[in-house]
Amino acid sequence: MRVGIVILPEHRWWAAEPRWRAAETYGFDHAWTYDHLGWRTLVDGPWFDSMATLTAAAMVTDTLRLGTLVASPHFRHPVSFARQVLSVDDISDGRFMLGLGSGATGKGGYDRSVMGEEEITPRQVTARFGEFVELMSDVLTKPVTDHDGEYYTAVQARNHPGCVQKPRVPFLIGADGPKAMGIAARFGQGWITLGGKDAADLGDWWRGVAERTDRFDQILADQGRDRTSVDRYLSLDASPLFSLESVEAFRDHAGRAAELGFTDIVTHWPRPDGVYAGRESVLEAVAADVLPGLGGRAGDRNSTPPSNDPEAPRVHHGEAGSSEG
């Protein structure tokens, strides 16, 4: 099992840089940041751009895979965003993973409301997301793309020079409902789940996670896709208990996720207060005592992070054109 960590884009770079370096030193397999214009209870605090942050992180790390958790259509267009994706993939030498999600609606949709957009229905959210993902995939894989859809237009959108990772960067698609899961099954090299909202307790949350894994298995089968062809990412801190509350809490979360067949789990860098409040001493202890036993990069500091798609070989440092299954 591979383990990732989210570093929120809330610190000036002089303070954020040591966290990204430490994530690699600790042995995490991947590190993420949120792709928002502002987020929930932190909307009035400091907040920085995700792609610029990941670009900077790519320059101070060597093996750590990097990604958005998750980018949404609320303030992005596939044509312009594809250029940013190409750039971060190039600067990181093929370590970028594109986490994608439909985006929040209603009161949680700050990314939408701050742009002055009207609220859209759940059906429209899913339809727009499906078109967004499909057009992103086309622009990142085809030399030239034309598209005239319900939500997006592309006229002679160029791809050159293309992604370092072939045929494109891996898409990790956040999906908890059946329609979004269908998009993940069609386009995703990875599936991300939060395990459901408003769980009554930790046991209820884990039951929700299990139900979603079963549903995703069925959707993969319906589309004729092998369940092992899509990596499974669980965002641990959607649970009622912060996974870095203690070493024991993290170990329990990791064990339960492994039993359900997750290939990857993601925690959050502890904050001094508010959301994800915790102690960095627990993070250090988990890195030292738990990560090496989970089989990811921490268990073999010389290993290369694996590709998310057997059909999409990844270019390694200094080996243009090489691939890995």
* Cα–Cα distance, 29 to 66 (Å, whole number): 9
DSSP secondary structure of 215-258: HHHHHHHHTT--GGGSEEEEEGGGSSS-TTS-HHHHHHHHHHHH
pLDDT in tens, 35-94: 999 999 999 999 999 999 999 999 999 999 999 999 999 999 999 999 999 999 999 999
* Cα–Cα distance, 100 to 32 (Å, whole number): 12
* Cα–Cα distance, 242 to 275 (Å, whole number): 9
Please check whether residue 222 is in contact with residue 179, taking contact to mean a CB–CB distance below 8 angstroms. Answer: no
Helix (H, G, I), strand (E, B) or coil at 191: strand
- Contacts with 314 (C-beta within 8 Å, 6 or more apart), sequence order: 94, 164, 165, 166, 307, 323, 324
For residue 109, what pLDDT is reported? 79
22-44: average pLDDT: 96
pLDDT in tens, 104-155: 776 557 898 898 888 888 899 999 999 999 999 999 999 999 999 999 999 9
**302 has pLDDT over 60:** no
148-166: average pLDDT: 97
236-248: average pLDDT: 97
Report phi then psi at 167, rounded to 5: -80, -10
212-227: average pLDDT: 97
∠ CA 34-3-208 to the nearest 5 degrees? Answer: 75
pTM of the model: 0.90
Domains and CATH numbers, the chain: 2-299 (3.20.20.30)
For residue 281, what pLDDT is reported? 98
pLDDT in tens, 244-287: 999 999 999 999 999 999 999 999 999 999 999 999 999 999 99
pLDDT in tens, 184-201: 999 999 999 999 878 999
**310 has pLDDT over 60:** no
- Beta pairing partners, 145: 157
For residue 120, what pLDDT is reported? 86
